[in-house]
Amino acid sequence: MKTTLAGLAALLMMGASALAQEYTVRLPNVDPPLSNVGELTYPNHSYAMMRTFKDALESLSGGRIAVELYPSGTLGDLRENLEAVQAGVLEAATPNEATVSGFFPKIQLTTIPYVFPNAVVAWDVLDGEWGGALFDEMAATTGLRAVAIGENAGFRIWANNVRPIATPADMEGLKIRTMEITAHQEMVSSLGALPTAIPWLEVYGALQTGVVDGAELPVIGTLQQNLQEVLKYATIDQHVYSIVFIVVNEQWFQDLPPELREAVVVAGRQATVAGRGLSQTLVGDVIEEFRDRGVEITTASPEQIAVLRETAQPKVLEWMVGQFGQAEVDNFMAAVQSAEANLSAE
């Protein structure tokens, strides 16, 4: 068989790449790579993070680190993935704040209801001194290092089949699905509803059969799971800003040479920006798609949000103080207030 010069060059390049590769990162997620919104198809926001992380890290490391992507739950669910990372079986995972809370409960501070007035304030807090200290503590105590802090479709929504929600009275007596995160359940009960923790893949059936009247949901994921088929009403009220991470095993990270640790950190920052940007782009289109598919959308006014905040926050803050101490809650609230002040001064 004859080998052309071009073919020989390709073989040599492949050989050099294989020799250069020293590490492999396996990075799973439960969602499909693409999101269909009406006639448009987008990368899923989590997949955008994963793909950006892969491309950036492979480039920044000069091919010394290869990243393998496993979307659509091919390596198990979020909790299984995170357990595998903690055990050193997997190098990385893409959990949300609910999954992380089972390993590092203090992440629940970020779920105090109506605490972030907008996404920019949330970014400043998470990327700033407070967030840096929190995620360093998480790495030290759990062996899980957050290298990307993306956006899980931003602010979550209320949705149900009984009535539009604009006031605490509208929540009274409704059975509401939550993630398996205690802070969310405290928030739901503080508004007069009955919280019921239901795994993500079981939410469609629970709504369809009336096991719950409604749910506390991510915007994009709601459409991906076709939940609009079993919902009549949705409320946009910015009650919880939801996060999706790329985490790596801390020991794996520390064992890397310094230049490769830096590459992981930089790739994580790029993935953070990609995930947040795509999430922000998708949310508005998804809400319009809800309307087109017959879901009645309520957008809470600033005055209505203030009433919801005044009703929901005190009980949740009391619970947070009991869990983490007054100083931890105060530090977080001070970080939020500082970020708000900095934004106003710009």
Residuewise pLDDT in 10s, the chain (346 residues)? 333 434 433 433 444 444 468 999 999 999 899 988 888 898 999 999 999 999 999 999 999 999 999 999 999 999 999 999 999 999 999 999 999 999 999 999 999 999 999 999 999 999 999 999 999 999 999 999 999 999 998 999 999 999 999 999 999 999 999 998 999 999 999 999 999 999 888 999 999 999 999 999 999 889 888 999 999 999 999 999 999 999 999 999 999 999 999 999 999 999 999 999 999 999 999 999 999 999 999 999 999 999 999 999 999 999 999 999 999 999 999 999 999 999 888 6
pLDDT given for residue 345 in this prediction: 80
pLDDT given for residue 225 in this prediction: 87
Residue 237 CA, distance from chain mean position = 18
Q: Which residues pair with 34 in a beta bridge?
A: 43
pLDDT given for residue 15 in this prediction: 41
Burial of 4: CB neighbours in 10 Å, binned 0-12, 13-18, 19+: exposed
Spell out the domains of the chain, with CATH numbers in brackets.
20-153+243-292 (3.40.190.170), 157-239+295-345 (3.40.190.170)
pLDDT given for residue 40 in this prediction: 84
pLDDT given for residue 254 in this prediction: 98
Q: Round to whole Å and give the CA distance between 212 and 305.
A: 24
Residue with tokens 């390709």: 10
Residue with tokens 């105090």: 112
pLDDT given for residue 123 in this prediction: 98
> CB atoms < 10 A from the CB of 106, how many?
17
pLDDT given for residue 35 in this prediction: 84
DSSP state of 67: E
Contacts of 300-305 with CB under 8 Å at 24 or more apart are: 300/166, 300/235, 300/236, 300/237, 300/238, 304/166, 304/167, 304/237, 305/114, 305/237, 305/238
Q: Round to whole Å and give the CA distance between 77 and 80.
A: 5
Q: Round to whole Å and give the CA distance between 286 and 35.
A: 10
H/E segment holding residue 189: helix 182-190
pLDDT given for residue 275 in this prediction: 96
